[in-house]
């Protein structure tokens, strides 16, 4: 079980061993299941763009098809999260902490809703680890209009998938040896995407 979880957090393993199917499942899970907050969505999408050009036989689809399928997985993930939030409602805030659930994740996401509003948060959250997992759940819990939610769900998914995968796809064309430095790139991406969350957490600690 532990080995399986380690593979799910390693972008290379996900694509090398699971192919397109596991890639799509991880994107869906990270954006739709509460237990998916630890999955490496940003790194995975960037790597998918790189490998689509460098090793096209891994996924058996062209770049356009890959982007369309990943976007669909991200949209469906958020729809599932929204549905779960609608069903769970206020009971979500009373849920006890567990290995896969932390109330602090809900609190951080709520801060984004308070600062940016529901519409912008649904787009921005796509680029923020943890927040992207809980944003659609809270949208459902506070009963944001479904059609409005879907519009920003699709816009956010397209922006997230297209931007990261395109960067990866063209990076490998300009720098063919980039696949030798993926570890450094992943670490840099993790740091960059974690900065906004750390700022909110730090501000919250100062207020308390």
CB 174 within 8 A of CB 88: no
CB 78 within 8 A of CB 27: no
Sort 84 into a burial class: Cβ within 10 Å, 0-12 / 13-18 / 19+: middle
CB 123 within 8 A of CB 156: yes
- Taking the mean position of all CA atoms in its chain, how far away is CA 142? 21
pLDDT tens digits for 44-57? Answer: 888 888 888 877 77
pLDDT tens digits for 9-37? Answer: 566 666 777 778 888 988 998 888 877 66
Residue 179, both tokens: 């696949």
Q: Which H or E run includes 203?
A: helix 182-207
Q: Establish how many alpha carbons lie within 13 A of residue 12's alpha carbon, considering only the half-sphere containing its beta carbon.
A: 7
The residues spanned by each domain of the chain are 2-207
Rounded to an integer, what distance in angstroms lies between the CA atom of residue 11 and that of residue 69? 17
Q: pTM of the predicted model, to two decimals?
A: 0.79
pLDDT tens digits for 94-129? Answer: 666 655 566 777 777 877 787 777 788 889 889 888
């Amino acid at each position: 079980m532990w080995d399986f979880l380690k593979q799910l957090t390693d972008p290379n393993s996900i694509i090398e061993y699971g192919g397109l199917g596991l890639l799509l499942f991880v994107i869906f899970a990270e954006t739709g299941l509460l237990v998916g907050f630890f999955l490496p969505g940003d790194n995975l999408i960037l790597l998918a763009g790189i490998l689509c050009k460098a090793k096209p036989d891994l996924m058996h689809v062209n770049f356009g098809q890959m982007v369309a399928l990943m976007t669909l997985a991200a949209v469906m993930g958020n729809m599932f999260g929204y549905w779960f939030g609608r069903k769970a409602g206020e009971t979500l805030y009373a849920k006890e902490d567990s290995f896969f659930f932390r109330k602090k994740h809900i609190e951080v996401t709520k801060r984004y809703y308070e600062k940016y509003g529901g519409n912008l948060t649904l787009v921005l959250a796509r680029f923020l680890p943890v927040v992207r997992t809980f944003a659609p759940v809270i949208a459902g819990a506070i009963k944001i209009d479904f059609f409005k939610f879907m519009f920003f769900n699709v816009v956010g998914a397209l922006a997230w998938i297209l931007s990261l995968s395109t960067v990866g796809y063209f990076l490998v064309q300009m720098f063919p040896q980039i696949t030798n430095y993926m570890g450094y790139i992943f670490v840099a991406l993790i740091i960059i995407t974690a900065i906004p969350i750390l700022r909110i957490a730090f501000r919250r600690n100062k207020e308390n």
